[in-house]
Amino acid sequence: MRWNTINSDKLKKAATLQREEKGYIDTDVLKESITSGLTALSRDYKSDARNRRLKAIRDGIHIPAVADLRKGHSIVDLGLGNPKDDPRLGRPDTDLSIDPVMRPIDPKEKKILYKGRPDFGRLEYLKTRVHKIPEDRFYFAETSSWFYGWRLKDTYLSCKAHGPEHGRVWHLAREKSRSGPAPDPIHYKSAQRLSNCTV
């Protein structure tokens, strides 16, 4: 309270806001704040001069691009498809689009889709498409359930398992394997004693 009484004249003068003009305007205040920061800017500019002269460190001398991709892994290179049959396969090496999943559809099967119902349509198309084995419809095994039996035609056992299409040997072998090594049932054997019913 004592400070207020001692400085009462100054407080009254500050409260009335009647001071003599010093000639400042807003831009002068802004200019003062900018010039106070210029010393720090010039100091930082001199200290950063060394860093500006340095070259950027590159971890790799060569950055790989499309031309550096490994070749020989496309469907055509693996011998699974032919660009004449499927025009989607005949593309340049720089093309990064994904390989097609399905083989091209037979035009006869495609016509089934566009004919009218009840004999044609989507369901009939799917029924005819199911009769083809998956490796005739797709380039690769898309699901894990296809791994068993995928490309069995390429194995040695395929010719042994199927045999000739029109031959007596195959029919005989099929009939033999159907009955198997088990003995004939009892009712096939000849009776050792006569039944009471037949006498």
Euclidean distance between CA atoms 132 and 104, whole angstroms:
13
C-beta of residue 134 within 8 angstroms of C-beta of residue 147: no
Q: How much is the average pLDDT of 60-77?
A: 76
DSSP 93-112: TT--PPPPSBPPPPHHHHHH
Is 131 within 8 Å of 106 (Cβ atoms)? no
83 vs 13, which has greater pLDDT?
83
H-only helix segments in the chain: 2-6, 8-16, 26-47, 49-53, 75-78, 107-114, 122-130, 134-137, 157-162, 168-179
The C-alpha atoms of residue 151 and residue 154 are separated, in whole angstroms, by 6
Q: Could you tell me which of 184, 162, 159, 180 has the C-alpha nearest to residue 171? A: 162
Copy the structure tokens of residue 110.
Answer: 């495609």
Is the overall model pTM greater than 0.85, yes or no?
Answer: no
- Rounded mean pLDDT, 174-193: 65
pLDDT of res. 58: 72
Indicate the average pLDDT of the chain: 78
Which residues have C-beta within 8 Å of that of residue 158, sequence separation ≥ 6? 152
Pairwise pLDDT comparison (135 vs 65), residue with the higher score: 135
Q: Quote the CA–CA distance of 124 and 113 in Å, as a whole number.
A: 8
The pLDDT of residue 119 is 75
Is-contact 13 19, C-beta < 8 A?
Answer: yes
- Three-state DSSP class for residue 190: coil
For range 150-163, the mean pLDDT: 64
Query: What pLDDT is recorded for position 193?
Result: 67
Contact 4, 11 (CB under 8 A): yes
Confidence class for position 130, pLDDT limits 50, 70, 90:
confident
